A and B are shown apart, each in its own frame.
Chain A
Amino acid sequence: MKISTVNPQDKTALAQQRDLMQQRVAQSLAKRHAKEKRFKLTGQLAVGTALAFVAILFISIFSKGLPAFWQATLTLDIYFDPDIILIDEKPVQAAGESDATFQERYQAWQMDLAFINFNGLILNALAEVIPEAAAHPRDAMRLVTSGERIALRNLVEEDPSIIGSRKRLNLLADANVDVWIKGNIDRDLADSRQQLSARTRGWVDQLVEQGVIKNRFSTALFMNADSRSSLASAGLAGAFMGSLMMMLIVMFLAVPLGVASAIYLEEFAPKNKLTDLIEVNINNLAAVPSIVFGLLGASVFILWFKLPLSAPVVGGLVLSLMTLPTVIIATRSTLKAIPPSIRSAALGIGASKVQSVFHHVLPLAIPGILTGSILGIAQALGETAPLLLIGMSSFVASVPSSPFDQSTALPVQIYLWQGNELRNFFEARTSAAIIVLLTMMISLNALAIWLRRHFENRW
Chain B
Amino acid sequence: MSNLMLAGVLLMLLALAYQLGLTRSRKLTTDLSGQKVRLHSRPVYHGALVAFWTVVPAFGVFLLWRFIQPGVINQMIIAQLPEAIMAGMTDSDMRVFLRRITHLSSGFGLSDQPQPHELQAAELLSVLQVRGHALMLALMASLAAAGLYFSWQQIHPDLRARNQMERVVKVALIACSSVAILTTIGIVLSMFGEAMRFFAFVNPMDFFFGTTWNPRFQTAGTEGQTGFGMLPLLWGTVMIALIALLVAIPVGLMAAIYMSEYAPSRVRSVAKPIIEVLAGIPTIVYGFFALITVGPFLSSFGATFGLDIRATSALTAGVVMGIMIIPFISSLSDDIITQVPRSLRDGSLGLGATQSETIRKVVLPAALPGIVGAILLAASRAIGETMIVVLAAGNSPVLTANPFEAVSTMTVTIVNQLTGDLDFASPQSLVAFALGLTLFVITLLLNVIALVIVRKYREQYE
Contacts and interface: CB of A to CB of B under 8 A. Distances in A.
B109 interface: no
Nearest to B391: A418
Contact of A378 (B190, B278, B280): B280
Interface in A305-359: 309, 321, 324-325, 328, 352-354, 358
Main secondary structure of the interface of A (DSSP, over half): helix
Interface of A: 32-33, 35-36, 39-40, 42-47, 49-51, 53-54, 56-57, 60-61, 64, 256-257, 260-265, 268-269, 278, 280-285, 287-296, 298-300, 302-303, 309, 321, 324-325, 328, 352-354, 358, 378-379, 381-385, 388-389, 391, 393, 411, 414-415, 418, 427, 430-431, 434, 437-438, 441, 445
Contacts, number: 258
A283 B439 CA distance: 17
B419 A60 contact: no
B282 A445 contact: no
A317 B377 CA distance: 26
Top 7 A-B pairs, shortest CB-CB distance: A289-B384, A382-B282, A43-B258, A261-B177, A46-B254, A260-B176, A39-B356
A382 B444 contact: no
17 contacts: A33-B354, A46-B253, A51-B274, A61-B288, A64-B292, A257-B179, A264-B177, A283-B451, A287-B447, A288-B440, A289-B384, A290-B384, A298-B422, A414-B288, A415-B284, A418-B391, A430-B288
Contacts of B451: 280, 283-284
Nearest to A382: B282
Given A391-B422, A438-B281, A288 B176 contact: no
Contacts of A33: 354
Contacts of A44: 258, 262
Contacts of B37: none
Given A43-B257, A261-B173, A354-B170, A291 B179 contact: no
A30 B323 CA distance: 36
A411 B284 contact: yes
Interface stretch (B57-65, B181-189, B202-210, B340-348): B181-189
B154 interface: no
Interface residues of B, number: 90
B162 A43 contact: no
Contacts of A49: 251, 255
Contact of B283 (A36, A264, A282, A384): A384
B275 A385 contact: no
Interface string B159-180: 0001100100110111011111
B385 interface: yes
A242 to B, nearest CB: 15
Given A42-B254, A50-B255, A284-B184, 5 more contacts: A46-B252, A261-B177, A268-B173, A289-B443, A300-B190
A169 to B, nearest CB: 34
B55 interface: no
A431 B289 CA distance: 9
A289 B277 contact: no
Contact of B293 (A60, A281, A418): A60
A54 B274 contact: yes
Nearest to B248: A50
Nearest to A45: B254
A257 B183 CA distance: 13
B262 A40 contact: yes
B422 A309 contact: yes
Contacts of A50: 251-252, 255, 271, 275, 278, 326-327, 330
Contacts of A294: 414, 418
Given A47-B271, A50-B330, A51-B271, A295 B183 contact: no
A325 B180 CA distance: 7
Contact of B176 (A42, A257, A298): A257
B70 to A, nearest CB: 10
A47 B255 contact: yes
Contacts of B422: 298, 302-303, 309, 391
Contacts of A296: 183, 186-187, 190-191
A110 B123 CA distance: 36
A291 B414 contact: yes
Residue in A269, A296, A430, A434 whose Cβ sees the most chain B Cβ within 10 Å: A296
Contacts of A43: 254-255, 257-258, 261-262
B250 interface: yes
A292 B384 contact: yes
Contacts of A383: 282
Contact of B326 (A42, A53, A299): A53
B383 interface: yes
B385 A289 contact: yes
B194 interface: yes
Contacts of A282: 180
A60 B289 contact: yes
B250 to A, nearest CB: 7
Residue in A61, A282, A298 whose Cβ sees the most chain B Cβ within 10 Å: A298
Interface string B253-277: 1110111011100010001001101
A62 to B, nearest CB: 12
A413 to B, nearest CB: 10
B457 interface: no
Interface string B339-378: 0000000000000001111011000000000000000010
Contact of B380 (A261, A269, A287, A427): A287
Nearest to A57: B289
B64 to A, nearest CB: 16
Contacts of A379: 280
B407 interface: no
Interface in B188-228: 190-191, 193-194
A309 B177 CA distance: 28
A414 B291 CA distance: 13
